[in-house]
Amino acid sequence: MSLTHSLFLPLDNYVEPARPPRERLREALAEGVLAEALGFHAVYCAEHHLSDYGLVPNPAVFLAHLAAQTTRIRLGPAIANLNARNPLTVAEDYALLDQLSDGRLVFGIGSGYLPDELATFGVDDERRGSRFAERLTTVRKLLAGRLASHAEPDCLLKRDQLPLYTHQPFGPQLAVATFNPDSAHLIGSQGLALWLMPHATCCERRDLIEIIDAHREGFLERLRLQPGVLGEFVRPLVAVCLPAHVSNTLPDALRLCGPYLSAHLARRPYPRRSDAETLTKAGLTLIGGSGQVRRTLEWLASIGVTEVMSMHAFGGMPTAHVQASLRAFAERVAGLQAAEALENA
C-alpha cells in the first residue's frame, strides 16, 4: 500500500545569535506553500511554549495564516498539547480553523513531554496522563458536535452549552502522539490514529515496530478481529515523523544537514539522545541519496506505517537547503504529483 507524504515544521529557532522570529515564521509559511505546490498531503506544525524549541504556542493561529495562502493541502497541529490549555478553548480554536480552511483540519493531540513546559501550566508527570485523558474525551465530544461537560477547578464546562461546529460533518480526523507501546495500545483500542517521532525515543528499528504492533493489537481488539483472519486486511492509521534530507549520496546529505540536525537534537530534552549520524545508521531518518531513502520508505510501509511526516527544516538550516531537499524528496523519492498536475488530472 502506498504511503501518504506530509511535511512537519518544528519551527525551532536555535541559530546563534537567534534570528528574529518573524523571519523563521515567514520561511516556514513559504515551505508550507511549496509543500502544497509539490503535492504533499498535509503540513503539520509543532506547539511549544516559552522556549526556542518552537516559535508557535498556538498552531491554530499559524495554520489559519497558512490556510489563507493555500487551497488543497491539509493542515494540523503536531501536536496540540491538551495539558497546556483549556479544552474548550482548544476545541473552539480548531473548529474555527476547520471552518476557515474548508475542512482541511487533521487534529493531532498529545499530553506534552517537556517537563518545564508542563510545570509552567501546573502539571506534574503524575497528573499528566489522567488530565490528558479527561480533556481528550471533552475535546472529542465538542469537535463531533455533541454536548459535553467538564469539571476542573480552573476549567468548567456546563452541559447546557452549545456544541461547536466544524466544517467536516463528523469532525476532523484525530491522531494521538505517544512514545511508548502501552499508550499506543490504548490509542488503538479507542480507534484513533497514532503519531510517532522515533528519533525522540527509539534506538533501533525494532523499538518502532514494537510501538506500531501494540497500536495495531489495540485497534484489532476494538474491532474484535484476529490477526490471520480479516485482521490482516485492516490497517489503522499510523504516521511517523522522521528527519529528512535528500541529496546525491548519503555522505553529501549528512555533510549538508548533519550539523543542523545534531544541533536540533542536542537542544531538545528527548527521552533518548542521539545525533544525525547515529540515527541515520539505525535507519531512523530519511537522509541520503534517493535510492536509500526510497528503501527506508518501503520498510516503513511494510511495518504498518500509512503516513510519513518528513521534517526538512531543523537547527537553523538555511531555507534554500530546506526547499531543495523538499523538491528532491517530492520529485525523486516520493513521486508526488505537483498541484498543477493534480488540478489538470
Domain membership flag for residue 138:
no
Q: What is the pLDDT of residue 52?
A: 79
Distance between CA 150 and CA 157 in Å, rounded? 5
**Of 253, 273, 271, the residue nearest 263 (C-alpha):** 273
* Three-state SS at 309: strand
In a domain, 25, yes or no: yes
Q: Any idea what the CATH number is for the domain that residue 324 is in?
A: 3.20.20.30
Contact in structure between 208 and 201 (CB atoms under 8 Å): no
- Confidence (pLDDT) at 180: 92
Range of the domain at 255: 4-78+178-344
How many domains does the chain fold into? 1
Assess contact for 238 and 305: CB atoms under 8 A.
yes
In a domain, 152, yes or no: no
- Please give the grid coordinates belonging to residue 218: 489495540
What pLDDT, on a 0 to 100 scale, did the predictor assign at position 202? Answer: 77
Say how many CA atoms lie within 13 Å of 287 toward its Cβ.
31
C-alpha–C-alpha distance, residues 291 and 136, integer Å: 40
Grid cell in block for residue 163: 456544541
Is 229 part of a structural domain of the chain?
A: yes
User: How distant, in Å, are the alpha carbons of 28, 45, 247 from that of 317?
Assistant: 12, 17, 15
Q: What is the pTM of this model?
A: 0.92
For helices 59-67 and 21-38, the axis angle rounded to 10 degrees is 50
- Distance CA(293)–CA(257), nearest Å, equals 15
Whether 78 contacts 108, CB under 8 Å: yes
DSSP 164: P
Q: CA 298: distance to chain centroid?
A: 20
DSSP state of 195: E
Does 262 map to a domain? yes
83, part of any domain: no
Cβ proximity of 58 and 157 under 8 Å: no
Burial grade of 77 (CB within 10 A; 0-12, 13-18, 19 or more):
buried
- What's the CA gap between 116 and 11, in Å, rounded? 18
H helical segments located in the chain: 21-38, 59-67, 87-100, 115-120, 125-143, 181-189, 198-201, 205-223, 250-267, 276-281, 290-302, 319-328, 339-344
- CB atoms inside a 10 Å sphere around CB 125: 11
Cα 322 from Cα 12, distance rounded (Å):
14
Residue by residue, pLDDT tens for the chain (345 residues) are 589 999 999 999 877 666 789 999 999 999 999 999 999 999 999 999 988 789 999 999 999 999 999 999 999 999 999 999 988 899 999 999 999 999 999 999 999 987 788 888 888 888 889 989 989 998 998 888 877 666 665 666 666 566 788 999 989 999 999 999 999 999 999 999 999 999 888 789 999 999 999 999 999 998 886 555 555 556 799 999 999 999 999 999 999 999 999 999 988 777 677 899 999 999 999 999 999 999 999 999 999 999 999 999 999 999 999 999 999 999 999 999 875 554 554
**Three-class DSSP category at 4:** strand
Any domain includes 312: yes
3-state secondary structure of 118: helix
Longest dimension (CA), the chain: 61
110 found inside a domain: no
Nearest to 125 by CA among 271, 288, 3: 271
